[in-house]
Amino acid sequence: MNKIEHIGIAVKSLKESNLLFEKLLGQPPYKEEEVKSEGVKTSFFKNGPNKIELLEATTANSAIAKFIEKKGEGIHHIAFDVIDIETEIKRLQKEGFVVLNEKPKKGADNKLVAFLHPKSTNGVLIELCQEIE
């Protein structure tokens, strides 16, 4: 793993949270997009070399909607940048981590993504991200 790619924060209202983070970071999001397959709208903020992704549910049965219902708004996941996501998935499985999707899927911000189950990572949902070339 190269670096932390971003920190994902589940929010009830992307519009309200964008305003809050604009005030906090002194700049608007650099990107907003919807990932229909995951039932979310996202926005991304840069803070130096770091990124924050805000996630709002667009469907009641999405992972973000369920997360907010169970835990409320807050940190949802930590994403790590990887060079070869398929190799990294295999390596982590051999190390005993539970991979939620063995084949990467298209995520937000032009990335291929895969997730590790929080039960195998001390309660933290981990996202692997590879830039789509």
Q: What's the residue count for the chain?
A: 133
Q: What is the pLDDT of residues 80-103, one digit of tens each?
A: 999 999 999 999 999 999 999 889
- The answer to whether residues 78 and 9 touch, using CB atoms and an 8 Å cutoff, is no
Six token digits for residue 124: 């933290």
**Is the pLDDT score of 133 beyond 90?**
no
Question: How much is the pLDDT for 6?
Answer: 96
pLDDT value at position 1?
Answer: 80
Full-model pTM: 0.91
Residues 102-126 pLDDT 10s: 899 999 999 999 999 999 999 999 9
pLDDT at 79 over 90: yes
DSSP-based three-state secondary structure for 37: helix
Percent of the chain with pLDDT over 90: 93
| 35-38 long-range contacts, CB within 8 A, separation 24+ | 35/106, 35/107, 35/108, 37/105, 37/106, 38/62, 38/63, 38/64, 38/107
Mean pLDDT of 15-41: 96
Region 40-69: what's the mean pLDDT? Answer: 96
Split at pLDDT 50, 70, 90, the class of 33 is very high
